[in-house]
Amino acid sequence: MRLWIACALSVGLLRGQQQSSIVVTGTAEPIPLAEADRDVSALPLPEKQRELYNTWFDLLELDPALDLQARAAGAMQADVSIRGATFGQTLVLLNGLRLDDVQTGHFNLDLPVPIEMVSGIEVLKGSGSALYGSDAIGGVVNALTAPIDPGELRLLGDAGNFGTNQEHAVASFGHAWWQEEMAAARDFSSGFTTDRDYRNLSLSSLSTLKSRLGATSLLFAYSDRPFGANDFYGAPEQQWERTKSWFASGHQNFGDKTEAGFAYRRHTDLYVYIRDDPSFYTNRHIDDSWQGNLRRHDNLPLHGVLSYGVEGLAESIHSTNLGIHSRERGSGYIFYDLRSVRRYSLSAGIREEVYSGQQVATSPSLSGAVWISGKLKVRASASRAFRLPSYTDIYYSSPNTLGNVNLKPETATSYEAGADAYLKTNLHLSVTGFERRDTDVIDYVELPGTTNFQAENLPQLHYRGVEASAVWEPRAGQHIALSFSGLHGEFASRQTIVTEYAFNYPAYDGVIEWRGSVGKNLIGRTRIGVVDRVGRGQYAVWDASAGYATGHVRPFVELTNITNTVYQDIPLIAMPKRGVIGGVELYVFGSSR
């Protein structure tokens, strides 16, 4: 949605590094990360360290507040949630435009662009409907793209166990006023066990233009993902699925105060219940969405900014299982921001969203921060969010799962308070406590006397938790981060029910990360994540990668699950043991330093 967000984050680093240069959108208008009065994290993908990250999923794993529930390596059919929210309650954006799927939240992470196009990820934790509308109950994940230096051609190829191989390419060209970037990626695996194979294809183009009218950007992307879905949705084992995505977006600035954005997304899903016998049960789904927005901000006296705008969204689906349906939403918002750098900030806003049937959802937000000293900031916020049920929630029917046409929208109220300490220029500490009260949460409840599940609105749920992090950069090129998240959820009533998703969250989640250079030529990173899931015990996963940082030929190696941990992010869906990938990135032309 905002090209300057992507440009800023592409040169920024994780919390605490170059704080004055990072710009985020925890408020309606961008601010330096150190001035944020919401809990926001920025996860960068340094351009010259692409070979250290296999997928954008590797970036998400750096924040323990994000619960990543994968079904296979390569982020195949993965889910993401924030602070105990379900995967459908987390809004996923690409450059500020919605990727959330009207069919099901299982497709929210179907990012259509290759990792070469991703410059970083922004995570807003806590309810975000005042800023972004429906689905932002747990928070918002915003993947960002940004132009790379013009005049580059890079090729990457690798291979590893489980029949893994990858071929990627990225090229950029242009002038000071116009630039084009194109990327392609193919990822393949024969699978670490039966019917867990996959092959991904992604193609994208990013065009940027500077004119007297203002900055212009156009993004076109396509992805094709067939995969074996062994045990993904319960028995039988031999399930198979293929998803495709088409995404087109545009952004136009009109001067420095007004901007417009639009996007079109098509997503198709072919699901086969028994891979070797498609005639037994096969679903075909096609959903389309159109979205557009017009935004403006005006500077007011005493460091104030008034931001306002309108947005529209139209969604439809043609499905052999769910039927043919469509719905539209329109919204308007207004925000007032008052802030004095390194002194105080206050942000208050409200969104009115009207959706099919003339129903209205009101989402207010209030946040503020005060600098106790030049090194210590305290902050607090309160916000309200909602989510409309997906078409799968409403209409789905399979041998063991049923939708519910009587579902009501979900609502939630979130509160948080925290502090940030910048003890030195290279040391940042942060702690946040939060609470969220959910009403009418949609989950799948086991029907009495059966093993079948039906979508229902649950009794009230309460979540409370704490997050803490420490980032230290002992010298240039070295980054060490320790992060922790603790969470507790409970029903407001004592009713005993069995659900599929509401209580599969990590009670505790910790991450230790190091990345940096070794000497003049080598770069590396490592991550250890320790998770204690409710009712399923602890497990730890250790990943590492290293590569050559200079020259036209840059070999690299990536190791995943180094300790051969046996674990499941999702019940009954086993994850692969140790993985090894080795390859090389070629700088055919462009900067080799």
Q: What's residue 267's pLDDT?
A: 96
Q: What is the DSSP string of 200-263?
A: EEEEEEEEEEE-SS-EEEEEEEEEEEEEE-TTBTBS-S--EEEEEEEEEEEEEEETTTEEEEEE
Confidence of residue 57 (pLDDT cuts 50, 70, 90): confident
Q: Where are the alpha helices (DSSP H) in 257-402?
A: 391-395
- The mean pLDDT of 49-76, rounded to a whole number, is 83
> Hey, what's the torsion of the CAs at 481, 377, 141, 219, to 10 degrees?
-100
Confidence of residue 493 (pLDDT cuts 50, 70, 90): low
19 vs 369, more confident: 369
Q: What's residue 523's pLDDT?
A: 93
- The mean pLDDT of 282-307, rounded to a whole number, is 94
Q: What's residue 100's pLDDT?
A: 87
Confidence of residue 436 (pLDDT cuts 50, 70, 90): very high
Q: Where are the alpha helices (DSSP H) in 51-114?
A: 57-60
- Of 97, 89, 95, nearest to 120 by C-alpha is 95
pLDDT per residue as tens digits for the range 352-387: 999 876 799 999 999 999 999 989 999 999 999 999
Domains and their CATH numbers in the chain: 3-589 (2.40.170.20)
Confidence of residue 204 (pLDDT cuts 50, 70, 90): very high
Q: What's residue 352's pLDDT?
A: 96
- Asked whether residue 12 carries a pLDDT value surpassing 50, the answer given is no
Confidence of residue 11 (pLDDT cuts 50, 70, 90): very low
Q: What's residue 591's pLDDT?
A: 61
- Asked whether residue 317 carries a pLDDT value surpassing 90, the answer given is yes
391 secondary structure, DSSP code: H
Residue 358 tokens read as: 């003339």
Q: What's residue 258's pLDDT?
A: 96
Which phi and psi angles does 196 have, rounded to 5°? -125, 30
- The mean pLDDT of 438-442, rounded to a whole number, is 94
Q: What's residue 592's pLDDT?
A: 52
- The mean pLDDT of 46-65, rounded to a whole number, is 84
- The mean pLDDT of 238-255, rounded to a whole number, is 94
User: For the chain, what percent of residues have pLDDT higher than 90?
Assistant: 61
Q: What's residue 21's pLDDT?
A: 42
Q: What's residue 495's pLDDT?
A: 67
pLDDT per residue as tens digits for the range 101-156: 899 888 888 889 988 888 889 899 999 999 999 999 999 999 988 877 788 899 99
Confidence of residue 593 (pLDDT cuts 50, 70, 90): low
Which phi and psi angles does 443 have, rounded to 5°? -145, 170
Confidence of residue 504 (pLDDT cuts 50, 70, 90): confident
Average pLDDT score over the chain? 88
Task: Report yes or no: 126 and 381 within 8 Å, Cβ to Cβ.
Answer: yes
Tell me if residue 283 falls in helix, strand or coil. strand
Q: What's residue 2's pLDDT?
A: 38
- The mean pLDDT of 471-490, rounded to a whole number, is 93
Handedness of CA 72, 465, 138, 219 (dihedral sign): negative
Q: What's residue 494's pLDDT?
A: 63
- Asked whether residue 17 carries a pLDDT value surpassing 70, the answer given is no
- The mean pLDDT of 162-181, rounded to a whole number, is 92
Q: What's residue 26's pLDDT?
A: 62
Say which residue the tokens 């630039």 belong to.
179
What phi-psi label fits residue 235: left (phi over 0), alpha (psi between -120 and 50 degrees) or beta?
Answer: beta
Maximum average pLDDT range among 44-48, 238-242, 346-350? 346-350
- The mean pLDDT of 180-197, rounded to a whole number, is 92
Task: Report yes or no: 392 and 103 within 8 Å, Cβ to Cβ.
Answer: yes
- Of 98, 97, 120, nearest to 40 by C-alpha is 120
- Asked whether residue 1 carries a pLDDT value surpassing 70, the answer given is no
CA–centroid distance for 293 within its chain = 21
- Asked whether residue 305 carries a pLDDT value surpassing 90, the answer given is yes
